[in-house]
Chain A
């Protein structure tokens, strides 16, 4: 009997010790939280260094505010950050107070009712923000976020080669002109291409086009209509046309071959977004400084004047159940509307400020980047005027995956006609998601 008792006590002690060890850490945190500055859990894309840089800058520009606040950074890669948030919501532990998501990702959480409505707060600072930055925070007429980055469409091209071939981007107005320009360049540079797709076509390429040509994947009742939507159809047709013309490099984004293709002149033009101006070209092909230029996109697949965006852009939002919402908003306003903070952030991280004051106080922000032959900012602000978003709802992320899969198959030649492909895509959307508005 004694032996049995001893064994039972040992077993129980082992379990109890293990359980205490598992919970001990969180007890320490909550205990210290009551005595320290208010903690704000901040979930941001990219590495922890990105958030820490922002904290450092805020410490310099808003020292008083930062004595009341302790930001606890969490980070996630762009693909998993929404899932990090879902898991936090599901478990109820370490739910962030502030999150950074793309506009498309944010919509899901807004529809789920877990994001704070900040309409009045955002309206109060409307005059401080660039118009498209202000608009980015709105979903169905209410504001749920403040812009961190507005991603416009920008065309990057090798001006030296274009000049050599007598090509002026102003004359390249549509897909056919784009193809003709590529073919002309290939008469002297046979391996040169105007864009790249590759076997894993970047998921943002289709969105860049459909966001600007009036495409919609579903009607106002949430029924999927991609088979009959003219914008979607035109996007598929034009991308295949460009590929079949032989002006598209068979290289996927974010591969070693992609970087190499810029270096060796296999890609002499690329239809991208403003985020591409984050030093990629200057890192991959520094010897090409001064040879590149930027312009608005031509009218590809009906997206006139370069209209559209890369999933709208990045947005900061505050979670509805956050107990520190007011303080979190104060920090966000400091981060996004203060010119000094924006200037330092631009210098440190290459983030384009979204407030007027930064550009007014620091005109050098609009200074000429010597990597480009022309002024990037002039084009960026032109593109901001035509910033548009693809209508998206709670299932936007999955819609993009499915549409991208079908685009890949269409470009691979798995379907004889675009109508066949889009009909299959529509059937798949209905099968996998059901109704676009269904949460």
Chain B
């Protein structure tokens, strides 16, 4: 009897085996190999040479590394608020609108997410061009969106917001279904206006949705690469003023410094991990304080 029960416990694992097999081959093994590689000098051929922490030291002492860290955090912070505000506002508006409007609005708002990032970046290069760009032609100006140091990073942020709004919109729209109509009606009856209901009822109920979006967006923004590189420099190495951390990884891969590229990848992973932990702690901290009340 006991043996039969044990046999039955094995069955789920047998079904999981094919997935686990590929998971180990295509995920765990590459992760382990890249970690091992980060302590070696290897150009893709010949024998890897053990260099200890030299790759990490080279990254930390790379004068441009901290500039790229600053650029990356700029992108995270600068694009976060506009994205959240615009997408949440759109979600609220669409949620309240008629079905016919929703049918048109939802795919339109989500459309930027469907367009490949590289294609979007190339289109925005034309939109932002100084002499021949759409914006400058409409305004009759010659603003160097892609060449003026004061504008370059903001151009990247604008494009990132444009792309991200659709994804957040869909998440928030789904999250709004968590807010019970009865609660809203009760609040209306009590005299709560739109903003009060939104900030005191809707947003607190959707707190886990917000946490999810913050964490996912921070993670993907910390790994940004395409927008700054394609938008500003058309695929060539981006100028330092807009370069994100991921560019260091890609530059090292392109030039065959795989050990250093692996080290950059692991540093990036640690950064994402730390930011995620901080976000979890902040959100959990607030939630616990809320429950303790």
Q: Tell me the A residues contacting B by CB distance below 8 Å.
A: 1, 3-4, 7-8, 10-11, 14-15, 18, 77, 79-80, 82-83, 86-87, 89-90, 108, 112, 114, 198-200, 202-203, 250-252, 254-257, 260-261, 264, 266, 397-398, 401, 404-405, 408-409, 412, 424, 427-428, 431-432, 439
Contact = CB atoms under 8 A, between A and B. Distances in A.
A307 to B, nearest CB: 25
A139 to B, nearest CB: 17
B276 interface: no
A428 B240 CA distance: 14
A79 B126 contact: no
B236 A431 contact: no
B106 interface: no
B18 to A, nearest CB: 4
B131 A199 contact: no
**Dominant secondary structure at the B interface:** loop
Contact of A260 (B46, B129, B144): B129
Contact of B149 (A15, A80, A260, A412): A412
A379 to B, nearest CB: 27
A79 B235 contact: yes
A198 B147 contact: yes
A401 B241 contact: no
22 contacts: A7-B11, A11-B18, A82-B254, A83-B254, A83-B255, A83-B256, A86-B44, A199-B232, A199-B241, A200-B232, A200-B233, A200-B237, A200-B239, A251-B131, A252-B146, A252-B234, A257-B132, A266-B131, A404-B237, A408-B239, A431-B62, A439-B43
Contacts of A80: 254
B63 A428 contact: yes
B236 A405 contact: no
Given A203-B237, A256-B129, A4 B11 contact: yes
A18 B22 contact: yes
Contacts of B58: 431-432
B237 A11 contact: no
B149 A11 contact: no
Contact of A405 (B17, B64, B129, B232): B64
Given A112-B46, A260-B129, A82 B256 contact: yes
Contact of A261 (B10, B17, B46, B131): B131
B72 to A, nearest CB: 17
Contacts of B46: 112, 439
A83 B252 CA distance: 10
Given A83-B253, A83-B256, A255 B18 contact: no
B236 A251 contact: no
A77 to B, nearest CB: 8
Nearest to A397: B255
Interface residues of B, number: 47
Contacts, number: 135
Nearest to A263: B132
Contacts of A397: 254-256
B21 to A, nearest CB: 6
Nearest to A261: B131
B7 A4 contact: yes
A252 B14 contact: no
B62 A428 contact: yes
Nearest to A438: B41
A199 B228 CA distance: 12
A238 B133 CA distance: 31
Nearest to B42: A90
A255 B146 contact: yes
B45 A86 contact: yes
A3 B148 CA distance: 69
B3 to A, nearest CB: 9
B18 A408 contact: no
Given A86-B45, A255-B129, A3 B11 contact: yes
Contacts of A77: 235
B79 interface: no
A27 to B, nearest CB: 20
A252 B233 contact: yes
Interface in B119-138: 125-126, 129-133
Given A18-B22, A250-B147, 17 more contacts: A11-B17, A15-B18, A83-B253, A90-B45, A108-B43, A108-B256, A112-B46, A200-B239, A203-B236, A203-B237, A257-B146, A257-B147, A266-B131, A401-B251, A405-B240, A428-B64, A439-B46
